[in-house]
Amino acid sequence: MRKALLAACFGLGLAAGALPQATEAQTPKRGGTLTYMIPADGGPSLDGHRETTYAVLHATAPFYSVLIRINPDNPSSTTDFTCDLCTEFPKPSDDGLTWTFKIRKGVKFHDGEPLTAQDVAASWKKIVSPPAGVASARYANFKMVESVAAPDDETVVFKLKFKTLSFLPALADPYAYIYSKKRLEQDMHWYEKNILGSGPFKLEAFTIGQSVKGVRNPDYYHAGQPYLDGFTAIFAPKQSVRVEAIRADRAALEFRSMPPAAVDQLTKELGDKITVQRSDWNCGNVLTPNHKVKPFDDVRVRKALFLAIDQWKGAQALSKIAIVRTVGSVVFPGSPLAANKEELEQLIGLWPDIDKSRAEARRLLKEAGQENLTFELLNRNVDQPYLIVGTWILDEWSKVGIKATQKVLPTGPWLDAMRSGNFTVALEANCQNIVNPIADVGRWLPYDVEQENFGGFLDPTLVEIYNKMLPETDVAKARVLMRQFEKRVNDEAHQLMVTYWYRQVPMRSYVKGWKISPSHYLNQDLANIWLDK
């Protein structure tokens, strides 16, 4: 049913280049404790609805259930969603505006209280329409939702304002933990400081800024899972510590990613004791010229910036030293709505003939009277991959006579400079969790629609295309509209996607069952992991 529905919605699509190494079919073994690291300095609050960092998700996802999720046995797919708390995927009724989910019976929170549809609805209401004084980080992704209700203890009904392909992927948000209605009614902020879910693991200990420990939930509702007796997640912000810890087997892995040099070092030192899973990543850098600042109000100058960069060769070369690899545009390359190579090569900034591209860049700069263009590229003081990509871009620009320097700022001032428009050209990041092309491209909309677009441009045509695409449920038609959207973004040189990132997760070979996905936010409940020791 699920597959049929999704095939109808999306067609079948697997992430190109996103296929993890084939994992041998083995019978999972029970027992053992998995120790992994979270490459962060502890997280902010424990409330997944409120936070955006993976540090929270990697520490808390094993404790929680969600309504639907990406298939944990096929997470590299961008379209294979599966039920977690629901019993089966519903057929939408009311001309696609009503989605009715049946909730599993017998599910319990870790304190023994039963989990019902009332809890699911209460949690989703908190996410979609948080009450005053309660923060919900992704509520803007649910613009299509009119209401969430639980008419009885086994049914949750989502009513939509309009049909859209972006609803189901949005619903599979990995942060959309199901909380206890009772706790939320007592205190909407309770989950910021406490953990109480119904997921595969129960909280054993939480040491602030240091580690999280979980033990197997014997009442878990997915038969036979989890396989582990428990897990220990250790916060380890420094990369050298993480590499050494894997080397000395103090920890088996970290789930985010490691740069090529670290992966090579571990592979060289540990041989067959290490396995590496790789995937294209639904994250990348975005080059944003500030359209409100001269001469970047001139489309010729902006185009020249994009035409000077050889992404096809650059991405391959950079992949040896940085966490980047794949060339793409506004849609994640593994999605059915993404452009293929031929389509990409038509876009400004992605022409295959770099000599022709740079000649055009020089011509445009001359025509705009900007042959000696000099400016400052605003960048973030994060080595992987911001500084590496930024340095490469400066070099590419120098090949058409543009003399740019980098202004590198810590995260707070970097974000502030972009939000206040205090920059000429910025290198920002675009990092999403679930691949949801129609929702994800919202970030490319002009600032009168998407206020956190820092480009400072207005473009009614782009908004018009998006508004047609948003309620389109025919994949083929949505794909055509997406091409128009993408072409418009590049023709107007509003912003440029600069190589997608590439996930490489080296892990001790005894860790089995986990499969990599295009996002470090996905497939983190650890239920299907087992240890071959």
Site of interaction with another protein (CB under 8 A)? 37, 41-45, 47, 51-54, 130, 133-141, 189, 192-193, 207-211, 232, 234-238, 240-241, 244-245, 247-251, 283, 410-417, 419-420, 428-433, 440, 442-443, 450-452
Contact present, 131 and 137 (Cβ < 8 Å): no
Q: Which is nearer to another protein, 163 or 247 (CB)?
A: 247
DSSP 272: G
**Shortest Å distance, C-beta 37 to another protein:** 8
Residue (118 or 279) nearer to another protein, CB: 279
Reduced 3-state DSSP string for 382-446: CHHHHHHHHHHHHHHHHCCCCEEEEEEECHHHHHHHHHCCCCCEEEEEEECCCCCHHHHHHHHCC
CB of 353 to another protein, least distance (A): 31
Between 2 and 143, name the residue whose CB sits nearer to another protein: 143
Query: Which residues are CB-neighbours of 66 under 8 A, at least 6 positions away?
Result: 84, 85, 172, 173, 174, 176, 177, 178
Q: For another protein, give the closer residue by CB, 273 or 399.
A: 273
* Backbone phi and psi for residue 152, each to the nearest 5 degrees, phi listed first: -150, -175
Q: What is the dihedral of CA 296, 298, 302, 305, to 10 degrees?
A: -80
Which residues, 6+ apart, have CB-to-CB distance to 383 below 8 Å? Answer: none
Task: Please identify, using beta-carbon distances, which residue of 282 and 528 lies nearer to another protein.
Answer: 282
Nearest CB to another protein, comparing residues 108 and 443 = 443
Taking the complex as a whole, how short is the minimal distance between the CB of residue 48 and another protein, in angstroms? 13
Q: Tell me how far, at minimum, the Cβ of 388 lies from another protein, in Å.
A: 16
Closer to another protein by Cβ: residue 22 or 208: 208
How far is it, in rounded angstroms, from Cα 380 to Cα 388? 11
The structure tokens listed for 50 are: 């409120």
CB atoms within 10 A of CB 210: 12
Q: 94 or 416, CB closer to another protein?
A: 416
Q: Is the dihedral angle over the CA atoms 376, 381, 386, 392 positive or is it negative?
A: positive
Minimum gap (Å) between residue 380 Cβ and another protein = 9
Which three-class secondary structure state does DSSP give residue 358?
Answer: helix
What are the tokens at 220? Answer: 């878990």
Q: Nearest distance from residue 429's CB to another protein, in Å?
A: 3
Interatomic CA distance for residues 43 and 209, integer angstroms: 7
Tell me 61's DSSP state.
G
Instruction: Rank residues 236 and 337 by Cβ distance to another protein and give the closer one.
Output: 236
State which residue, 301 or 418, has the beta carbon closest to another protein.
418
CB-hemisphere CA count at 13 Å for 32?
19
CB nearer to another protein: pick between 93 and 451: 451
For residues 314 and 395, give the distance between their C-alpha atoms in angstroms, rounded to a whole number: 11
Nearer to another protein, 92 or 174 (CB): 174
User: Cα–Cα distances in Å, from 178 out to 168, 220, 422?
Assistant: 17, 14, 40
* Closest CB 501 distance from another protein, rounded Å: 10
* H, E, C per residue of 428-473: EEEECCCCCHHHHHHHHCCCCCCCCCCCCCCCHHHHHHHHHHCCCC
Cis before residue 385, ω within 30 degrees of 0?
yes
Write out 106-133 in H/E/C secondary structure. CCECCCCCECCHHHHHHHHHHHHCCCCC
What minimum distance in Å lies between the beta carbon of 284 and another protein? 9
> Checking phi first, is residue 352 left (phi over 0); if not, alpha (psi -120 to 50) or beta?
alpha
Minimum distance from residue 21 beta carbon to another protein (Å): 25
Query: In the bound complex, what is the minimum distance in angstroms from residue 449's beta carbon to another protein?
Result: 11
Alpha-carbon distance 94 to 105, whole Å?
26
- Please tell me the distance from the alpha carbon of residue 13 to that of residue 10, in angstroms, as a whole number: 8
Q: Minimal distance in Å, beta carbon 323 to another protein?
A: 13
Q: How far is the CB of 426 from another protein (least distance, A)?
A: 12
